[in-house]
């Protein structure tokens, strides 16, 4: 069993790397690339390399809605142009409506003085383009490799690796971007809080009678939200949040029955659903790390926070973690301070945990509000949504926050 030990005795030689990032998903790869481009000697440890992305392959079921803040970071890392030229589905509108009351709210990029609200992009396209850029940025990739334990020393963290060309790796700072079930978070003794939604998100790509109009559609049903996200090829990617038993029933439907039920659930907003890829489902959970840092150690992305997918903000929050960490570390270096000094890591942790917690609890509150079934509460919800749609200053603030502006 891996163990975390602490040893305060000094080492004779300095650490081999400034930063060791563990986890090469979208957030981990972006962190390694951002830190290397900022001039930090960076190593990335990953269990398995991503599957090469190809335009000839079917569109990955896992997609992300990239907000303008995420696009700006990827552009700064010189990977956005290659992502955008492939299969990135732009959207300029978002329409959200309530099945129980018919109340709706509409967001338009033009109202915010922008061309677009964001892009729907395959996870593996983003990860692959980031992965491709690592070598030229000077990131030392150890893959396949796995961290089995780490020791915190006076001036470094020393990682014990399995499966790599070296058994030991040392760095001034250890960055854990190893997912919601983060082994490193457990090794660091950082606990989490949250709740299981007892739901699953059913995902597929579907074809509809009418075009998606460059719009992200979301309908709140009494069983949970259904999102139809615009893909670059004209189809829509669905995320249908359902109670566990209902999700299992929907997953077991035959092809035509699934298309028919999805059409009803979407209120036939895009006409009949006429085709679908095979379906998949994943569990939904709210999870927040109680701390984002310990000695020479920080959390990023899903290792720090897992949120309800209804707002499509999970990866965007992770990429905002990346931007904040880079800026904090650059500031420490400019001030001549150890980049892993407690006050430096506390600055990052305080800023990001505060922002992430506010967002996560806001998404959770929204899920709870749309779970109301009492007629007076449902009526009040409808009235509130109609009022919000007319309050342009508040709508603008919501849109700016979602965009990371």
The whole-angstrom separation of Cα 226 and Cα 98 is 11
Contacts of 163 (CB under 8 A, 6+ apart): 144, 145, 146
Q: Is 29 helix (H, G, I), strand (E, B) or coil?
A: helix
Q: Is 331 helix (H, G, I), strand (E, B) or coil?
A: helix
Q: What local confidence, expressed as pLDDT, does residue 101 receive?
A: 84
**Encoded tokens for 373:** 């079934």
**Encoded tokens for 66:** 């990239």
Q: Is 114 helix (H, G, I), strand (E, B) or coil?
A: coil
pLDDT tens for the chain, 405 residues long, are 333 333 333 333 457 899 999 999 999 999 999 999 999 999 999 999 999 999 999 999 999 999 999 999 999 999 999 999 999 999 999 998 988 888 888 889 888 788 999 999 999 999 999 999 999 999 999 999 999 999 999 999 999 999 877 789 999 999 999 999 999 999 999 999 998 889 999 999 999 999 999 999 999 898 888 999 999 999 999 999 999 999 999 999 999 999 999 999 999 999 999 999 999 999 999 899 999 999 999 999 999 998 877 656 779 999 999 999 999 999 999 999 999 999 999 999 999 998 888 777 777 766 666 666 777 776 777 777 676 666 666 556 665 555 555
Q: 15: number of CA atoms within 13 Å, CB side?
A: 27
Q: 13: number of CA atoms within 13 Å, CB side?
A: 7
Q: What local confidence, expressed as pLDDT, does residue 13 receive?
A: 47
User: Could you give the angle at which helices 68-76 and 26-37 cross, rounded to 10 degrees?
Assistant: 50
Number of CB atoms found within 10 A of residue 73's CB: 23
φ/ψ of 226, rounded to 5, equals: -120, 120
Q: How far apart are the first and last CA of the chain?
A: 44
User: Among candidates 10, 50, 3, 6, which has minimal Cα distance to 29?
Assistant: 50
Does this model's pTM top 0.75? My answer is yes
Strand-pair category, 42-45 with 104-108:
unpaired
The whole-angstrom distance between residue 214's C-alpha and the CA centroid of its chain comes to: 22
Q: Which CATH class is domain 4-58+126-193+287-367?
A: alpha beta
Rg of the chain, C-alpha, whole Å: 22
CB–CB of 172/163 below 8 Å? no
Q: What local confidence, expressed as pLDDT, does residue 3 receive?
A: 36
Dihedral of alpha carbons 25, 87, 95, 101, sign:
negative
Q: Encode 164-230 in three state secondary structure.
A: CCCCEEEEEEEEECCCCCCHHHHHCCCCEEEEEEEEEEEEEEEEECCCCCCEEEEEEECCEEEEEEE
User: Among candidates 13, 14, 4, 2, which has minimal Cα distance to 340?
Assistant: 14
Q: What local confidence, expressed as pLDDT, does residue 18 receive?
A: 98
């Amino acid at each position: 069993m891996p163990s975390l030990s602490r040893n305060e005795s000094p080492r004779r030689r300095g650490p081999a790397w400034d930063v060791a990032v563990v986890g090469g998903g979208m957030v981990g790869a972006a962190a390694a690339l951002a830190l290397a481009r900022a001039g930090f000697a960076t190593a990335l440890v990953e269990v398995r390399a991503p599957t090469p992305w190809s335009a000839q392959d079917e569109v990955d079921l896992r997609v992300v809605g990239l907000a303008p803040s995420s696009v700006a970071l990827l552009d700064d890392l010189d990977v956005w142009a290659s992502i955008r030229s492939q299969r990135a589905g732009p959207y300029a509108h978002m329409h959200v409506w309530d099945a129980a009351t018919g109340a709706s709210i509409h967001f338009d990029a033009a109202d915010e003085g922008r061309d677009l609200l964001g892009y729907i992009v395959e996870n593996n396209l983003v990860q692959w383009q980031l992965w491709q850029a690592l070598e030229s940025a000077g990131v030392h990739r150890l893959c396949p490799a796995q961290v089995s334990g780490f020791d915190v020393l006076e001036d470094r963290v020393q990682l014990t690796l399995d499966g790599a060309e070296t058994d030991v790796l040392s760095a001034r700072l250890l960055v854990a971007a190893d997912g919601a079930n983060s082994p490193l978070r457990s090794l660091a003794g950082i606990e989490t809080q949250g709740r299981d939604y007892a739901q699953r998100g059913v995902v597929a790509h579907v074809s509809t009678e009418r075009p998606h109009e460059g719009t992200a559609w979301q309908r709140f049903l009494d069983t949970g939200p259904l999102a139809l996200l615009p893909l670059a090829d004209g189809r829509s990617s669905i995320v249908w949040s359902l109670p566990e038993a209902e999700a299992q029933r929907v997953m077991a439907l035959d092809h035509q029955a699934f298309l028919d039920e999805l059409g009803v659930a979407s209120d036939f907003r895009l006409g009949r659903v006429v085709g679908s890829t095979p379906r998949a489902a994943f569990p939904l959970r709210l999870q927040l790390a109680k701390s984002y840092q310990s000695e020479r150690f920080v959390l990023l992305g899903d290792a720090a926070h897992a949120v309800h997918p209804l707002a499509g903000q999970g990866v965007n929050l992770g990429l905002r973690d990346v931007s904040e960490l880079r800026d904090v570390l650059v500031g420490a270096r400019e001030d001549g301070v150890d980049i892993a000094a407690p006050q430096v890591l506390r600055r990052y942790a305080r800023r990001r945990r505060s922002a992430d917690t506010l967002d996560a609890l806001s998404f959770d509150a929204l899920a709870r509000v749309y779970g109301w079934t009492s007629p007076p509460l449902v009526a009040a919800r409808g009235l509130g949504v109609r009022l919000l749609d007319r309050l342009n200053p508040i709508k603008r603030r919501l849109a700016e926050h979602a965009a990371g502006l």
